[in-house]
Amino acid sequence: MRRLPRRRLTMAVAIGGLFAALAQPTASAAPAPLTDPAKARALATEFGQDRSGGVYYDKAGQLVVAVTDEAAAREVRAEGGVAKVVKHSAATLNSVRATLDRRIADVDPIPNTSWGVDPSTNTVTVDIFDAATTADEKRLMRLVTRYGDAVRVNRLPGKIDATAYETLGGIGIESTDVAAGRYSACTLGFNVRDASGQKYFVTAGHCADSPSFQWWDREAGSIYLGKRIWYDYGGIEKDYAVMEYRGENLAAYGAVRAAGVDYEITDSRYPNDGESVKRAGAVTSDLVGAVLSPSETVTFSDGTLLKNMIKTSNCSHQGDSGGPLWAGTDALGVLSGTNTPQSEPCNSAQGQYRSWFQPVHWVLAHHGLHAF
């Protein structure tokens, strides 16, 4: 066999290696995670109701697109999404719900019942409360049992009362230490909930810094709300209290109220320096303000030192403590302190006053809670 000169052999190997490298498939970059619920819903819509089961957040906080076949699941993953293959399509579940509406709700509604499509369980969830009569429950069950595991039935205590007392951010709350003759009047900051759906509300820690300030009422009407579960005041990033809702016939809304207007709250985050913010309270509200510092160290007149607080140009008064600070639909903080004199009016024209807020996102992350 004729030998190739070393130089030609080396060149041939190099060229062969080059062709081999060129022949290798290029690694494609992983898609960006799909975190926008609007985009996830748009993707589910592309599959159509027969191949989609809806969009939801799982207990880990991940945005999930439910689909009915593996091919659709691969498409979701290719878009950076989390996919779950489910048994029942959105078309099937919506048909079941429509039947319940048509056969019962529209002709002979059953008090103390509710139903709706729940993508997270891939069912139509039917809730039957204790106050529903036995005859009505049997009538409903005769209809839902024909759909098998496409329907999930929950039996729950109590009754559905249209006159439930509403509770939301910005309303007055109070607690009384009868033995010591002490009274605390503050403002509800935000309604929040844990992964299981249990609802709580957040306010300022200095409102609840007495062992006796555990049970809280709505100021208007002295309606019992719930019990203090966690609180802290005086530590770094710590002027907060979290109360668990335990009262009856309460409607806790994911909103805040200021000057007679309700503002929807859907999430929480840390503030951005310079952004426009609104503040609400049981005594005053200031809807024109800005973040002057997203992480402020402040020492109150009694010597209390707080760090990592939010400083804004909003004014506020005593009794507004614990009230909500928000931007758009995002919860930002609960009111801790102010330099606004009680004798001075509080409105957006008062540019010389400041308010400091506990970052609420830290509180929620620390206790596994979410604004809604």
Where residue 235 sits, what CATH number does that domain have?
2.40.10.10
Q: Are residues 104 and 236 in the same domain?
A: no
Q: Are residues 113 and 216 in the same domain?
A: no
Q: pLDDT tens across 259-307, in order?
A: 889 999 999 999 999 999 999 999 999 999 999 889 888 878 787 878 8
Q: Read off the amino acid at residue 339.
A: N
Per-range mean pLDDT, top range of 29-33, 60-64, 92-96? 92-96
In a domain, 7, yes or no: no
Could you give the number of structural domains in the chain? 3
Q: Are residues 329 and 189 in the same domain?
A: yes
Is 321 an active-site residue? Answer: yes
Phi first, then psi, for residue 261 (nearest 5°) are -115, 135
Is 239 an active-site residue? Answer: yes
Reading across the β-sheet that carries 63-67, which strands appear in turn? 52-57, 63-67, 82-85
Sequence-ordered list of residues with C-beta below 8 angstroms from that of 98, at least 6 positions apart, any chain: none
Residue 177: predicted pLDDT:
75
In a domain, 4, yes or no: no
Q: Which residues does residue 289 pair with via DSSP β-bridges, in sequence order?
A: 277
In a domain, 17, yes or no: no
Q: Are residues 244 and 116 in the same domain?
A: no
Sequence-ordered list of residues with C-beta below 8 angstroms from that of 120, at least 6 positions apart, any chain: 56, 57, 58, 64
Q: Are residues 52 and 167 in the same domain?
A: no
In a domain, 97, yes or no: yes
In a domain, 240, yes or no: yes
Q: Which of 45, 60, 85 is the last residue of a domain?
A: 85
288 CB neighbour count, 10 Å cutoff: 14
In a domain, 66, yes or no: yes
Q: Are residues 229 and 168 in the same domain?
A: yes
Residue 160: predicted pLDDT:
54
Domain coverage including residue 97: 90-156
Q: Are residues 176 and 109 in the same domain?
A: no
Residue 7: predicted pLDDT:
47
Is 212 an active-site residue? Answer: no
Among the listed residues 239, 286, 320, 330, the single catalytic one is 239
Among the listed residues 206, 232, 268, 286, the single catalytic one is 206
Q: Are residues 176 and 78 in the same domain?
A: no
Q: Are residues 269 and 229 in the same domain?
A: yes
Q: Give the pLDDT band of residue 24 (cuts 50, 70, 90).
A: low
Give the three-class secondary structure for 295.
Answer: strand
Beta pairing class for 330-338 and 286-299: unpaired
Among the listed residues 89, 321, 336, 355, the single catalytic one is 321
Q: Is the pLDDT of residue 18 over 80?
A: no
Say which residue, 22 or 58, is predicted with more confidence: 58
In a domain, 262, yes or no: yes
Q: Which of 70, 85, 100 is the last residue of a domain?
A: 85
In a domain, 356, yes or no: yes
Q: Are residues 199 and 343 in the same domain?
A: yes
Assess contact for 271 and 261: CB atoms under 8 A.
no
Q: Which of 60, 85, 110 is the last residue of a domain?
A: 85
pTM of the model as a whole: 0.60
Q: Are residues 50 and 179 in the same domain?
A: no
